[in-house]
Chain A
Amino acid sequence: MTDRLLDIDNVEVEYPARGFRGTPFKALKGVTLDILPGETVGLVGESGSGKTTLGRAVLGLAPVTGGAIRYKGRDISHLSRAERRTLSSDIQVVFQDPYTSLNPALTIEAILTEPLTVRKVSRADASRRVRELLDQVHLPADAGDRLPREFSGGQRQRIAIARALALDPQLIVCDEPVSALDLSTQARVLALFKEIQERTGVAYLFVSHDLAVVRHLSHRVAVMYRGEIVEWGDGDQVTARPEHPYTQRLLLAAPVPDPVAQEQRRAERRRLLENQREQDAQAGAIA
């Protein structure tokens, strides 16, 4: 397809060695992925799998040492800070932790006008835009005068989403945006993500460790393991009928909130682990 929004092509990220004789750490080992306009691509993996690094590479916050990241056909993996700034109206971010992603010393209004100041928007327009944004994320209009500490985790995440939306981006990188939230808050924030996408046509790169969350929101899903994508395709297929052994293990490891179904899943998981161990042993014997 030629109308891809983002094209991640064999990307490698290597962090320089710590200390004098350390070995450099390769967080991404050739990752290929693409995102269409208006699409949600889910990125699942465990801690250390490189999923967050991929999100940061797209944002220009991680050093890309190989491959290319193309946004609308233009390579954005090695932009200067000044060139990167012009991209800010296209690619935005919502981080995991709603407590540290908002500066505690600034009011909500100051936080939301931050991206607008770059565009030299007049104060009156900025103030109007802030009220629009608060309305979009279903927060009261007077929230602008208050400080982040006066809001709960879910409300703060709404503020972070409003900040990401301020410049009408085409793509938002969402780095575990609901994993710090309670179950019911999580459901409401996910509904908000969906609603905004349906209204504005923004695309999401949605990074999460939770298969259920990703399945709920993603059109296509990629599974990462040790810096590589092991499975990539239609969301329903990857999250319900995975083909790769790692994804199978991941799926069966997550407990289902139903005692009867969970007992079955536990048995299935035990069988799967048994089978995979046997296969590994056979493979070892042949080799």
Chain B
Amino acid sequence: MTTTLSSDSVPTVATLERAAHASLFRRLLRNPTGIGSLGFLVVVVLAGAFAPLLAPHDPNKASANDILAKPGGTYLLGADGSGHDILSRLLFAIRPTIEGAALAVAVAAAIGITAGLVSGYYGKWFAGAASWVASLLMALPGIVVLLAARAVIGPSLFGTMFVFGILLSPAFYRVVHAAVAAVRQELYVDAARVAGLSDARIISRHILTVVRAPAIILAAGVAGIAIAIQAGLDFLGLGDVSRPSWGGMLTDAFTNIYTAPLQLWWPSLAIGLTCMALALLANSLRDELERSEKPKRRRRRRPAAPAAPAPAGSAAVQHEPVVPGDQPAAEPGDELLQTRALAVGYDQPDGSVTMVVHDVSLTVRRGEVHGLIGESGSGKTQTAFAIMRLLPAGGRIVAGNINVEGDDLATLSEKAMTRLRGAKIAYIPQEPMSNLDPAFTIGSQLTEPMRIVLGLSKAQAKQRALELLERVGIPDPQRTYDAYPHQVSGGMAQRVLIAGAVSCKPDLLIADEPTTALDVTVQAEVLDLLRDLQAEFGMGLLLVTHNFGVVADLCDRVSVMSAGRIVETGPVRSLFADPRHPYTKSLFAAILEDAEPRGPLVTTEAGR
């Protein structure tokens, strides 16, 4: 009944690929270098194709009267040492040049892409053998091989270009192998295997699409090299002398360099401009593929206060401490960190600003653990980064202020901010591994900040680092001190980062999902450690997390964020016992901990 819908409403893979291709092509046309180089190449190809119509003379007709004729008159660009018309020879040389280059590219691509696909997809012994052969081919001196090949197969343009194509195939092999090996790890390739697709189908559907773009870029570059090499061989007189060629014309002009120096220009320009156009085309193709539009840099300015300046805190539901055992309410003068109407935005390429944090007013008191909880995209991490003034490129504090002991971090100079980080504010990241530099030992990464911030000597800093490592529960501090980050586990790396964060005795510690990347048993240990250290050093801790269990375990007060705003804030026990805001309630409803277990399978329901 729905047959009428089918044929045109189902986009096939082919049309999708065409769409992707077309958009790249369209973007290329908007790129000035791209359109320029492409336009030039189109003109060259057309001139070559219609050379018999365009050329004013027979390129092989030598006229003894016109040897080295000056440009102008019958011979627009002059005549060469044998009395041939230079313009006609230039035009007639285009076709073999391009055909030769195309042959080299085709051979290189056919061998390289096939081998790259097979070795990237199947790996194993073929990958080993293929990469060995590729290395061997790359190590061969190309021009020597071409000379030897020419000696065997004679002065054939296509023969030489075929051999050159083989020599160039490793370039394609490497690029394709890398792309395929990467995409081979993708889960959607596994899913396709489980779905029962054959290898041929998986390669054509999922893998060729990834390979296409880099292969096209490479082909443009390789074509340029092939044209240059071809001209070189012809210049040496190793090409087919019976046909006009740019390299051959260069030889002729070279012999007459003193009598007619101008003649050297024409073939040189033809070779140079064509190769340059191909190289530029390859570059602009790559630029268009990798383009990530950069937002316009704008000076940070302080706009007038937000349009409707809400009284601080009015947006968020506040809790009075109603449950016994909760931390007492605010004691004025005890605030360590206080943000007021903080707003964070990202500059867009079109000049607008996308707001990710609105009107956030947050207070962390001395010695308090404050949880900032929300789902992904709620703006909790952006708030934390804004406080440290470490927002990613394009992000900036649009409005509001951040008070830490009398300083407004929103307006502080970058220099003063650098002094503050580490000394007064420290940070524990989510991914311990990516926050340690793999090139340095853990010891050197721990001691460096202490030497700069606290002014300790090398020996003192090492002493303190070892103490700290022991304090955070690392069994063999000296060994970890000497180790590189990849030699320790994720849980150990997080302990190292915690040791680093507290090393300069900060007043405020900002922890961004500090246990999310860890296993639960390790998480429990790290939470214990954070609790002990916080009590020992009397730090304020701002804990960014999405996990209500972590908040329940560690926090004194909590603020719930949603869509860039704090919707509810209060002491942990009161807020957990009696969430007021509908969003907080919906989050609590989604918690599975109190949910009924599924129970055993009722067998009468089994089967269909």
Contact = CB atoms under 8 A, between A and B. Distances in A.
Physical interaction between A and B: yes
Interface of A: 3, 36-40, 46-47, 59-61, 81, 84-89, 91-93, 95-97, 100-103, 105-107, 109-110, 113-115, 117-118, 122-124, 126-128, 145, 153, 160, 163, 166-167, 182-187, 190, 200-201, 209, 211-213, 215-220, 234-236, 239-240, 249-250, 252-262, 266, 269
A219 B598 contact: yes
B489 to A, nearest CB: 10
B606 A85 contact: no
Q: What are the 10 A-B residue pairs with the smallest beta carbon separation, nearest first?
A: A88-B196, A255-B549, A257-B548, A253-B524, A115-B195, A101-B187, A187-B590, A124-B6, A46-B519, A182-B375
A258 B576 contact: yes
10 contacts: A81-B199, A106-B16, A182-B376, A187-B589, A201-B605, A235-B598, A236-B598, A256-B549, A258-B593, A269-B524
Given A106-B16, A184-B586, A255-B550, A234 B600 contact: yes
A256 B593 contact: yes
A257 B524 contact: no
B184 to A, nearest CB: 12
B188 A59 contact: no
Q: Is the interface of A mostly helix, strand, loop or mixed?
A: helix
A253 B520 contact: yes
B305 interface: no
Nearest to A200: B608
A102 B188 contact: yes
A201 B549 contact: no
Nearest to B528: A266
B72 interface: no
Interface stretch (B7-15, B154-162, B405-413, B499-507): B7-15
A209 B523 CA distance: 13
B552 A255 contact: yes
A115 B196 contact: yes
A183 B10 contact: no
A46 B520 contact: yes
Contacts of A101: 186-188, 190-191
B193 interface: yes
B604 to A, nearest CB: 10
Interface residues of B, number: 70
B600 A257 contact: no
Given A182-B546, A256-B549, A201 B606 contact: yes
Interface string B560-573: 00000000000011
B553 interface: yes
Contacts of A117: 197, 201
Contacts of B191: 93, 95, 101, 160, 163
B547 interface: yes
B206 interface: yes
B552 A106 contact: no
B553 A93 contact: no
Given A123-B10, A183-B591, A201-B608, A219 B599 contact: yes
Contacts of B332: none
B196 A257 contact: no
A255 B527 CA distance: 10
B205 interface: yes
Interface of B: 2-3, 5-7, 9-13, 16, 20, 186-188, 190-199, 201, 205-206, 209, 325, 375-376, 519-521, 523-524, 527-528, 546-553, 572-573, 576, 586-593, 595-601, 603, 605-608
A285 B593 CA distance: 39
A38 B587 contact: no
Contacts of B3: 124
A175 to B, nearest CB: 9
A123 B527 contact: no
A172 B2 CA distance: 30
B195 A163 contact: yes
A107 B552 contact: no
A256 B597 contact: no
Given A183-B590, A257-B551, A61 B599 contact: no
A240 B2 contact: no
Contacts of B20: 105
Contacts of B598: 40, 215-219, 235-236
A128 B521 contact: no
Contacts of A38: 601, 605-607
B38 to A, nearest CB: 24
Nearest to B553: A255
A118 B16 contact: no
A215 B519 CA distance: 18
B584 to A, nearest CB: 11
A257 B549 contact: yes
A100 B195 contact: no
Residue of B190, B595, B598 with highest tally of chain A CB at under 10 A: B598
B190 A235 contact: no
A256 B552 contact: yes
A92 B593 contact: no
A109 B10 contact: yes
Contact of B593 (A127, A186, A212): A212
B555 to A, nearest CB: 8
B187 A127 contact: no
B194 A59 contact: yes
Nearest to B375: A182
B519 A262 contact: no
B193 A61 contact: yes
A220 B600 contact: yes
A260 B552 CA distance: 8
B4 to A, nearest CB: 9
A148 B192 CA distance: 16
Contacts of A86: 196
Contacts of B196: 84-89, 115, 118, 167
Contacts of A96: 187
A60 B190 CA distance: 10
Given A47-B519, A124-B6, A257 B606 contact: no
A37 B376 CA distance: 36
Contact of A262 (B206, B546, B553, B605): B553
Contacts of B10: 109, 113, 123, 126-127
Nearest to B210: A105
A215 B597 contact: yes
Contacts of A59: 190, 194
A267 B527 CA distance: 14
A250 to B, nearest CB: 6
Given A61-B190, A103-B188, A107-B16, A88 B209 contact: no
Contacts of A256: 549, 552, 593
Contact of A114 (B9, B195, B552, B603): B195
Given A186-B592, A200-B608, A257-B551, 11 more contacts: A38-B606, A38-B607, A88-B194, A91-B194, A92-B194, A100-B187, A101-B188, A114-B205, A163-B191, A219-B599, A261-B552
